[in-house]
Amino acid sequence: MPTSRLLRRPPTPGLRLRVATAPDWLPRALAALDVVLVDHAHCEKKAAANALSLLQAYPEVPGLPAQMARLAREEAAHLAQVLHWLEVRGLALGRDRGDAYAQGLQALVRTSAKERQLDRLLVAALIEARSCERLGLLARGLPEGGLQALYARLTQSEDGHQRLFVRLAERVHGAAAAARLDGLLDEEARLVQQLPVRAAIH
Ligand SMILES: [Fe+2]
Ligand SMILES: [Fe+2]
């Protein structure tokens, strides 16, 4: 593609979440930042594992294996950075306490092969988008410093990830992707409003 056309090409659209995080989430998260950091480390671990799981499940999708390999590497790097902050603050990773938000979205994944593939990509996009929103809130709420800078960088990175998943879903599934995303955005909004606000990424 000529450079002029590349430059004119609009940025890949991402998705727009339909409800904002409740205003009491940020003060609660800042007041229990150690708990949030431990939960965040588990989120990055699961994001890396999910990228490898998608690679394992869909090696035939053109471009997907390489994209998921790069994503897994990025998420593992995020994990290492968050683990560094756990160490600085004298925190142990401990057991994963689970994530009702992610589980609620996973429960929406349909079972037939084609629908399952689309839903897995879109659920990953939604989780990235919600994580991006919340990491951005932390970046704006934390005092200036290394941790704040980390959250500012990760916000950008997770925004790129949600775009990647939306792009993949649209490339492979065409118009079905937008229609399903519309429904899943409503479900995500409902789930976020249902779940209690807690000191965790989700
Ligand atoms: Fe990440
Ligand atoms: Fe991510």
Cβ < 5 A residues, ion ligand 1: 44, 75, 78
Q: What's the 130 CA to ligand 2 centre distance in angstroms?
A: 10
Position 11 scores a pLDDT of 52
Q: What's the 27 CA to ligand 1 centre distance in angstroms?
A: 22
* pLDDT bucket at 48, cuts 50 / 70 / 90: very high
Position 1 scores a pLDDT of 41
Q: What's the 79 CA to ligand 2 centre distance in angstroms?
A: 10
Residue 174 makes CB contacts below 8 A (sequence gap 6+) with none
pTM: 0.93
Position 9 scores a pLDDT of 47
Task: Specify whether the CB–CB gap between 18 and 74 falls below 8 A.
Answer: no
* pLDDT bucket at 13, cuts 50 / 70 / 90: low
CA distance 52 to 30: 32
Cβ < 5 A residues, ion ligand 2: 47, 128, 158, 161
CA distance 118 to 46: 19
65, pLDDT greater than 60 = yes
Q: What is the DSSP letter of 19?
A: S
Q: Select from 169, 160, 69 the least CA-distant residue to 119.
A: 169
Position 2 scores a pLDDT of 46
Tens of pLDDT, residue by residue over 148-178, are 999 999 999 999 999 999 999 999 999 999 9
Position 97 scores a pLDDT of 84
Q: What's the 2 CA to ligand 1 centre distance in angstroms?
A: 33
Q: What's the 52 CA to ligand 1 centre distance in angstroms?
A: 14
59, pLDDT greater than 60 = yes
Position 14 scores a pLDDT of 79
Task: Specify whether the CB–CB gap between 79 and 44 falls below 8 A.
Answer: yes
CA angle (155 as vertex; 186, 58 as ends), nearest 5: 65
CA distance 11 to 7: 9
Position 6 scores a pLDDT of 42
Tens of pLDDT, residue by residue over 77-126, are 999 999 999 999 999 999 998 899 999 999 999 999 999 999 999 999 99
What mean pLDDT, rounded, does the chain reach? 94
27, pLDDT greater than 60 = yes
